[in-house]
Amino acid sequence: MSQDEAAAGAAAPGNEAGQDSEQKKPEEAAESQEQQRQEAWAARRALIAHGPSFVQPLARSATQIARDQFGVSGGIVQGNVNIFGGRLRHPDHLSGEIPRARIEKLSEVFCRCPSFDDALDRLRTDKVVILSGGRATGRGSAALMLLSLLGVDRMRSLDPPDSVSALPGQLEGAAGYLLRDLTISRSHPLREPHLLGLRERLEHTGGHLVITVEPSAALDDIPYIRWEPPPAEDMLRSHVARHGGEAAWAGLSDLAPVKEFLTRAQQPSGIAEFAQQLITFHHGEIDEEKLTALGEAAVEAQVSRMLTDDQRTLRDKAFLVSLAVFDKAPYAVAAELGDGLYVRLQKTADPRQSPTIPVFDGSREARLRFAGAKGYVDTEITEWGTLIGQYFAAFREERTASALLHEVWNRHPSARPALAEWIRELAEDGRPLVRTRAASATAQLADADLSSAMAHLIEPWADDDYFGSWLTAANALTMAQLLSVPHIFQILHDWCTGENESRRWTAIRTYGLLGPVHHEQALKALLEAIRRPAQDDYDQDGDEDADAEEEALQFADALEVLLLAVREPVLSELAERLDDRALRTHALLAFLQACKQSKEDDSDRPYVLDWYAQATAADDTTTTRHLVSFWKALLADRAQNASALGVLRRWVLKANDDPESESALASLLPAVATTPTNHRRVSHLLRSVRDSGRAPSPVADRLLKRLPPD
Q: Which whole number is the average pLDDT over 496-500?
A: 85
The pLDDT score that the predictor gives to residue 100 is: 86
The pLDDT score that the predictor gives to residue 71 is: 29
CB atoms within 10 A of CB 364: 16
Percent of the chain predicted with pLDDT > 70: 83
What would the pLDDT profile of 615-624 be if each residue is shown by its tens digit? 999 999 999 9
What is the C-alpha separation between 383 and 14, in angstroms, rounded?
11
The pLDDT score that the predictor gives to residue 665 is: 94
What is the average pLDDT score of the chain?
A: 80
What would the pLDDT profile of 138-158 be if each residue is shown by its tens digit? 888 889 999 999 888 888 888
pLDDT score of 21 more than 60: no
Of 20-34, 421-435, 518-532, the one with minimum mean pLDDT is 20-34
What would the pLDDT profile of 380-406 be if each residue is shown by its tens digit? 877 777 778 889 999 988 888 999 999
The pLDDT score that the predictor gives to residue 344 is: 95
β-sheet with 96-97: strand ranges across: 96-97, 155-158, 176-179, 208-213, 128-132, 225-226
pLDDT score of 95 more than 80: no
255 class by beta-carbon count within 10 Å (0-12 exposed, 13-18 middle, 19+ buried): middle
The pLDDT score that the predictor gives to residue 415 is: 95
Read off the pLDDT band of 472 (50, 70, 90): very high
The pLDDT score that the predictor gives to residue 624 is: 94
What is the C-alpha separation between 209 and 128, in angstroms, rounded?
5
What would the pLDDT profile of 248-275 be if each residue is shown by its tens digit? 787 787 787 777 777 766 666 667 777 8
Residues with Cβ within 8 Å of 111's Cβ and at least 6 positions away in sequence, in order, are 74, 230, 234, 235, 238
What is the C-alpha separation between 430 and 464, in angstroms, rounded?
18
Of 122-131, 163-172, 400-409, the one with minimum mean pLDDT is 163-172
**What is the CB-side half-sphere exposure of residue 661 using CA atoms within 13 A?**
22
The pLDDT score that the predictor gives to residue 291 is: 76
Read off the pLDDT band of 534 (50, 70, 90): low
What is the C-alpha separation between 43 and 47, in angstroms, rounded?
6
What would the pLDDT profile of 612-656 be if each residue is shown by its tens digit? 999 999 999 999 999 999 999 999 999 899 999 999 999 999 888
3-state SS of 333-361 is: HHHHHHHHHHHHHHHHHCCCCCCCCCCCC
Contact present, 595 and 608 (Cβ < 8 Å):
yes
CB atoms within 10 A of CB 124: 13
78 class by beta-carbon count within 10 Å (0-12 exposed, 13-18 middle, 19+ buried): middle
The Cα-based distances of 701 to 238, 251, 632, 665, 707 in angstroms read 79, 75, 22, 12, 10
Read off the pLDDT band of 546 (50, 70, 90): low
Q: Which whole number is the average pLDDT over 170-199?
A: 81
Of 26-30, 47-51, 473-477, the one with minimum mean pLDDT is 26-30
What is the C-alpha separation between 25 and 8, in angstroms, rounded?
37
The pLDDT score that the predictor gives to residue 697 is: 82
The Cα-based distances of 492 to 41, 55, 488 in angstroms read 20, 18, 6
Q: Write down the domain spans for the chain.
A: 77-226, 232-307
The pLDDT score that the predictor gives to residue 276 is: 79
Encode burial over 217-233: b for 16+ CB neighbours within 10 A, e otherwise: bebeebebbebebbbbb
What is the C-alpha separation between 158 and 143, in angstroms, rounded?
13
pLDDT score of 89 more than 70: no
What is the C-alpha separation between 319 and 437, in angstroms, rounded?
15
Contact present, 50 and 437 (Cβ < 8 Å):
yes
**CATH for the 77-226 domain, from 3.30.60, 3.30.2450, 1.10.3470, 3.40.50:** 3.40.50
pLDDT score of 93 more than 60: no
The pLDDT score that the predictor gives to residue 544 is: 59
What would the pLDDT profile of 576-608 be if each residue is shown by its tens digit? 989 888 889 999 999 999 999 988 777 788 999
Q: Which whole number is the average pLDDT over 187-200?
A: 83
The pLDDT score that the predictor gives to residue 180 is: 87
Read off the pLDDT band of 43 (50, 70, 90): confident
pLDDT score of 476 more than 50: yes
Of 12-16, 553-557, 580-584, the one with minimum mean pLDDT is 12-16
Residue-wise DSSP of 364-412:
HHHHHHHHTEEEEEEEEEETTEEEEEEEEEEESSTTHHHHHHHHHHHH-
What is the C-alpha separation between 163 and 599, in angstroms, rounded?
65
What would the pLDDT profile of 50-72 be if each residue is shown by its tens digit? 777 777 777 654 444 333 322 22
Read off the pLDDT band of 88 (50, 70, 90): very low
Q: Report angle CA 635, 638, 639 to the nearest 5 degrees.
A: 105
The pLDDT score that the predictor gives to residue 282 is: 79
Encode burial over 45-61: b for 16+ CB neighbours within 10 A, e otherwise: bbbbbbbbeebeebbbb
Backbone dihedral angles phi then psi of residue 379, each to the nearest 5 degrees: -105, 130
The pLDDT score that the predictor gives to residue 391 is: 92
